[in-house]
Amino acid sequence: MPRIERRRFRAFTLLELLVVLAIVALLVSILLPAMSEARREGMRTACLVKTRELGNAVGYFRSDNDDRMPRSNHSAFAARTLPWEYALYRYFSGTMFEGPDSGWQRVRDESFTCPFDDRKDRLSYGYNVYYELTEPETKGTVWRVGTRIPHPSTTILFGELEDGSATDHVMAHFWVQFNAPAEIEKDRHRPKASYVFVDGHAEERAFEQTYDDARGLDTWNPATAP
């Protein structure tokens, strides 16, 4: 008969177990920051994708409306038209806007909300009102037609609304005319935020790269965008 050997198993000692736990804790402490940064990078990329799609939707709107720029709640009611979030809804859903139903809520949450924005029932992105202002408001040229904008690749179309905002637009001309505070969430992406430009591209920038009164920099005003 073959001899059956009895194997003896040695248990971990308390000291060995503590060493293993210490190694695991060290590995976790090393990996967690990297995983957290990777998650933030993914969220930044997702926001840029959303804002590029938003810029493209404005391009489709212009093509369908004789190159006219959309409006926001700042002037849409007076012009008897839909504000941009409802007017652009069709390019994200494939159907015309008929009311704030579940379809609208889905588009708002999936396409008009930054991944870093934890607010509910709010838009993350605000439309630059320069494209709907009248001549007395701009004290110069009216920018209702897209092809009249001289530098579309450097002129801002959308920025990220500050957390306390419940509107859909950015009153950037008030910053110059009345020294009003900028209603922009400047570091939502920790430390930057997304901006969409008239030509449809999106970038992550520091707010001071878009507007700095001390340096005379204003990329929100089509007349002064470099």
Residues of the chain above pLDDT 90, percent: 73
- The pLDDT of residue 211: 97
Q: Residue 9 burial (CB < 10 Å; 0-12/13-18/19+)? A: exposed
Distance of CA 6 to the CA centre of its chain: 66
Query: Residue 145: helix, strand or coil by DSSP?
Result: strand
Q: Which two tokens stand for residue 67?
A: 């190159």
- The pLDDT of residue 7: 56
Q: Confidence band (pLDDT; 50, 70, 90) for 12?
A: low
pLDDT tens for residues 63-83? Answer: 999 999 999 999 999 999 999
Q: What share of the chain is helix, strand, coil (3-state, %, to 5)?
A: 40, 15, 45
CA angle 92, 75, 211 (to 5 degrees): 80
Average pLDDT, the chain: 90
Span 36-53, mean pLDDT?
A: 88
pLDDT at 160 over 60: yes
State if pTM tops 0.75: yes
Q: Which two tokens stand for residue 64?
A: 């369908």
Q: Which two tokens stand for residue 20?
A: 């293993």
pLDDT tens for residues 162-218? Answer: 998 999 999 999 999 999 999 999 999 989 999 999 999 999 999 999 999 999 999
Give 21-69 as a DSSP string: HHHHHHHHHHHHHHHHHHHHHHHHHHHHHHHHHHHHHHHHHHHHTTTBP
- The pLDDT of residue 107: 95
* Alpha helix positions (H), 65-181: 84-87, 89-93, 102-111, 135-138, 172-177
- The pLDDT of residue 3: 56
CA 183, 53, 104, 193 torsion: positive or negative? negative
Span 216-223, mean pLDDT?
A: 96
Q: What is the DSSP letter of 164?
A: T
- The pLDDT of residue 217: 96
Residue for token digits 């008009």? 112
Q: Confidence band (pLDDT; 50, 70, 90) for 158?
A: very high
Q: Confidence band (pLDDT; 50, 70, 90) for 157?
A: very high
- The pLDDT of residue 88: 98
